[in-house]
Structure formats: structure tokens, C-alpha cells
């Protein structure tokens, strides 16, 4: 615990409350996420994991609380200031969210064309590399509607990685993937972390995957954060909900 106090937190969330209308989904979330770590958000279906991600990214404005990236308060930023933060972040949505009217190649090229002044050849190369990382080189000219569910996920990951984000958010990246592809995806995430110093926040239900990649876990239950810490500590904490989560998942 001591050395974590020395590093500045990457994302610092304090008393975050998230609501849809009058319905409170998350209540009093307080946590500091550290750089160069993979943080896994856990919790039952519908407990607010996606909501937490969307609030951290200000896709939904948090109802109250503070939110800091790299020590900077982002809730007080206007759209333009926050866009500088967003350019350093990649997000993989739960259902991919690829633009359906354009090909995979063009989907990945959007951020590169909009946010950089690179020339065509360099962009072309980056797109091919990113698609190769997610093992989709063969699908480069296909359209999203021509891909399987898992392929869409991977294409969306390539798009999220387009600008080499410093933080990558993933909402259930391995849902819909077979165990082998899922393991390869975990490898990729670990590579991104170790080789590129990327920090990753990820929602997943796959126990195998959690064991492979998690540095820290956040456990959500009925709107509250029950636990934040390492996987080992979570198992030893003696919190009944967490114990059942790992017990039932073991089969």
C-alpha cells in the first residue's frame, strides 16, 4: 500500500452519484485508479458497470461528485477542454458502436483523419497494424454488418486503439468471444500495458480473464462500491457478495 501513495492517481473519483432521471444507479463511489494498471469492474448484470464507465467519460454527466484525470478536475471543463482529455482515452463500447455505413478500414481511420495531420501512407500503415493486433487483417474492407459479434468487438477495439490512448476503457470486450480468442485478447491487453504503459479499465464477467489480467478490482453491488483492491485481497476480504460471485462462477 505504501508505494501506491507515491504515484499520482490516474483517475480520481470522489463521491460520484449517477442517476437516470430520478433513479439513482450509483451512490457515493470513491476510488483512485492508478496508472499502468488493469482495473476490472465487477458486479451483477444491471448493477451499473456501464453506467459507471459512461459517467467517468462524461457521456452522462455525473449527478454529483468530483472526477479528476491526471490530477485535473474534468467536470468543470467545457467541451473543448475536455476533448483534449478524450483524445488520450480510448473506449470500447459494450456493443461495439461501429459506424455501420462505412467499412472497418474507414471506421478505424476516423480518429486518425480527424485528430492528426498524418499523410495517407502513414495512416494506412497504422490502420493495418491496429487491425492486425486484433487479428482482423482479413476483414479490413468488410462492413460492420458483415462481421460476427466477436469480430465487431475486435474491430471496435482496433478503433479505440487508433490514437494509442493512454487509458483504454473496455466494456465487456470478451463477451461473445471463444475462449481462445478471449485469451488472445487478454494477451493483447497485457502487452499494451507492459510495452506501451497503457492503463486499462475493463468490465468483464469472465473469471478466467479476471485471473489473467486484473491488477485491481472494483466490486459494485446495488449502487455501492463494496470493494477496491487486488484480486487476492478481494477473496480474503470475507464480503459475502464477492465470495458468492467467485464461488458460483467456478462451476
Ligand X SMILES: Nc1ncnc2c1ncn2[C@@H]1O[C@H](COP(=O)(O)OP(=O)(O)OP(=O)(O)O)[C@@H](O)[C@H]1O
* Binding stretches for another protein (CB under 8 A): 8, 10, 35-36, 69-72, 81, 84-85, 87-88, 100-101, 103, 105, 115-119, 121-123, 125-126, 128-130, 132-133, 137, 140-141, 143-145, 163-164, 166, 191-192, 194-197
Strands 11-20 and 64-69, by their bridges, are antiparallel
- Residue 49 CB, shortest distance to Mg ion, in Å, is 5
CB of 147 to another protein, least distance (A): 11
CA distance 31 to 228: 7
Site string for ligand X, 88-127 (x = CB under 6 A): ------x---------------------------------
The three three-digit cell numbers of residue 21, written as one number: 432521471
H/E element holding 19?
Answer: strand 11-20
State which residue, 48 or 62, has the beta carbon closest to ligand X.
Answer: 48
Contact of residue 143 among another protein, ligand X, Mg ion, none (CB under 5-8 Å per partner type): another protein
Please, what is the minimum distance in Å from the beta carbon of residue 120 to ligand X? 38
Whole-number minimum distance, CB 184 to another protein, in Å? 14
134 φ, ψ (degrees, to nearest 5): -95, 10
Q: Which partner in another protein, Mg ion, ligand X, none is near 247 (CB below 5 to 8 A by kind)? A: none
Structure-block grid coordinates of residue 106 = 474507414
> Angle, to 10 degrees, between the axis of helix 104-115 and the axis of helix 149-160?
20
Which residue's CB is nearer to ligand X, number 20 or number 84?
20
Q: Which does 117 bind (CB under 5 to 8 A by kind): another protein, Mg ion, ligand X, none?
A: another protein
Q: In what order do the strands lie in the sheet with 64-69?
A: 23-33, 11-20, 64-69, 72-73
CA 48 to chain centre: 14
- Binder of residue 166, out of ligand X, Mg ion, another protein, none (CB less than 5 to 8 A by kind): another protein
Q: Which is nearer to another protein, 51 or 109 (CB)?
A: 109
**C-alpha span between 180 and 22 (Å, rounded):** 42
> Which residue blocks in 14-90 are alpha helix, DSSP H?
49-56, 79-86
Q: Residue 220 in 3-state DSSP?
A: strand
Q: Which of 24, 50, 116, 241 binds Mg ion (CB under 5 A)?
A: 50
Binders of ligand X among residues 4 to 63 (CB under 6 A) are 20, 25, 43, 45-51
Bridge partners for 42 per DSSP:
219
# chain residues binding Mg ion, by CB under 5 A: 2
Instruction: Look at strands 167-171 and 89-92 and give their pairing.
Output: parallel
CB-count burial class (<10 Å; 0-12, 13-18, 19+) for 180? exposed
Query: Residue 173 Cβ, how far from another protein at the closest point, in Å?
Result: 18
Tell me which residues touch ligand X (CB under 6 A): 20, 25, 43, 45-51, 94
Amino acid at each position: 500500500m505504501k508505494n501506491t501513495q507515491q504515484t499520482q492517481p490516474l483517475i480520481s473519483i470522489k463521491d460520484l452519484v449517477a442517476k437516470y432521471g430520478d433513479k439513482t444507479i450509483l451512490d457515493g463511489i470513491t476510488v483512485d485508479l492508478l496508472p499502468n494498471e488493469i482495473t476490472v469492474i465487477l458486479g451483477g448484470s444491471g448493477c451499473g458497470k456501464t453506467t459507471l464507465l459512461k459517467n467517468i467519460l462524461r457521456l452522462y454527466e455525473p449527478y454529483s461528485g468530483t472526477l479528476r484525470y491526471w490530477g485535473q478536475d474534468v467536470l468543470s471543463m467545457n467541451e473543448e477542454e475536455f476533448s483534449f482529455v478524450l483524445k488520450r482515452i480510448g473506449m470500447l463500447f459494450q456493443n461495439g458502436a461501429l459506424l455501420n455505413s462505412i467499412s472497418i478500414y474507414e471506421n478505424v481511420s476516423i480518429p486518425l483523419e480527424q485528430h492528426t495531420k498524418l499523410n495517407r501512407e502513414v495512416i494506412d500503415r497504422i490502420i493495418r497494424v491496429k487491425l492486425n493486433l486484433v487479428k482482423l487483417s482479413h476483414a479490413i474492407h468488410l462492413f460492420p454488418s458483415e462481421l460476427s459479434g466477436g469480430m465487431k468487438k475486435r474491430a471496435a477495439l482496433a478503433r479505440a486503439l487508433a490514437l494509442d490512448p493512454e487509458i483504454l476503457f473496455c466494456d465487456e470486450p470478451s463477451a461473445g468471444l471463444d475462449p481462445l480468442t478471449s485469451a488472445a485478447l487478454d494477451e493483447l491487453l497485457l502487452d499494451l500495458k507492459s510495452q506501451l504503459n497503457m492503463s486499462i479499465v475493463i468490465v468483464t464477467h469472465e473469471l478466467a480473464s479476471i485471473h489473467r489480467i486484473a491488477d485491481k478490482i472494483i466490486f459494485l453491488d446495488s449502487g455501492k462500491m463494496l470493494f477496491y483492491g487486488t484480486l487476492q485481497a478481494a477473496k480474503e476480504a470475507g464480503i459475502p457478495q464477492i465470495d458468492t460471485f467467485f464461488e458460483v462462477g467456478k462451476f
